[in-house]
Amino acid sequence: MPSIRECRAVIFDMDGLMIDTESLALKAWQLAGVDFGFPITEDIFVTMVGRNRWDSDRTLVEVFGSDFPVDAVRKRYRTYVDGWIDEGMLSIKSGLLELLGFLDQVSIPKAVATSTEYDRAIYKLSLVNLLDHFPIVIAGDQVEKGKPAPDIFLAAALQLEVLPKHCLVLEDSDAGIQAAYDAGMTSVMIPDMKPPSEKSRAFAHRVFGELDEFHDYFRESLGLM
């Protein structure tokens, strides 16, 4: 992989990386599961992190069997999580705005590549006043295969008009790090609820605890400290 100094664009994941959604999503899945008599544990939930809705639904059916009422449970999950979102419970991660401002300052273009469906992604980004920062948003329902396939990152690179090898991906999930690696991109992992796997540690350029830690490292790497 190229050095981080050679990166010409930054591609951001959304949920868990920029927006603090994973704790809400876990609680909503657990409540929806209880409503239908299925214990959706945190261990099950973390296997769904970073994946699109179809892959997540497939995981639930594999765990609970073909009788699992996946559409009804997902609808109940949406009822819970959408209610909390509409109540203003979404927040952005610490250090994000400072990082976005720095990328604007040094004229490095940005894109979002999220497993969330497009309309829902736009809604979330709008609620937390991030949409104006990202002229390019690629969503899970706009590509044939979701993360861990590389399709979504390759689509973002195409719209950015930057070669994949010059793209830097910021991710919080194992699926996202695998997708970035297979896309031939440099990746940095900033995990949320699930610690990085050994494979992610091997594939990622670095792992950081917070966005501001990465921001400091990136500035230093560019010789701008």
CA distance 176 to 174: 5
Question: What does the longest C-alpha to C-alpha distance in the chain come to?
Answer: 57
CA distance 154 to 164: 7
- Domain extent for 142: 4-20+91-221
CA distance 76 to 23: 17
Written as six digits, the tokens of 209 are: 């605890």
Q: Judge if 127 and 168 occupy the same domain.
A: yes
CB neighbours of 117 closer than 8 A, spacing ≥ 6?
52, 53, 139, 140, 141
In DSSP terms, 110 is beta-bridged to: 10
- Which of the residues in the chain have pLDDT under 50? none
Q: Judge if 13 and 35 occupy the same domain.
A: no
Q: Judge if 10 and 109 occupy the same domain.
A: yes
pLDDT given for residue 225 in this prediction: 58
pLDDT given for residue 147 in this prediction: 93
Q: What domain count does the chain have?
A: 2
Q: Judge if 130 and 214 occupy the same domain.
A: yes
Q: Judge if 27 and 95 occupy the same domain.
A: no
Q: Judge if 68 and 149 occupy the same domain.
A: no
The domain spanning residue 173 has which CATH number?
3.40.50.1000
Q: Judge if 175 and 186 occupy the same domain.
A: yes
Q: Judge if 144 and 72 occupy the same domain.
A: no
Tens of pLDDT, residue by residue over 50-84, are: 788 888 999 999 999 999 999 999 999 999 998 99
Residue 142 carries which side chain, given as an amino acid letter? Q
Q: Judge if 47 and 145 occupy the same domain.
A: no
pLDDT given for residue 181 in this prediction: 97
For the full predicted model, state whether its pTM sits above 0.85: yes
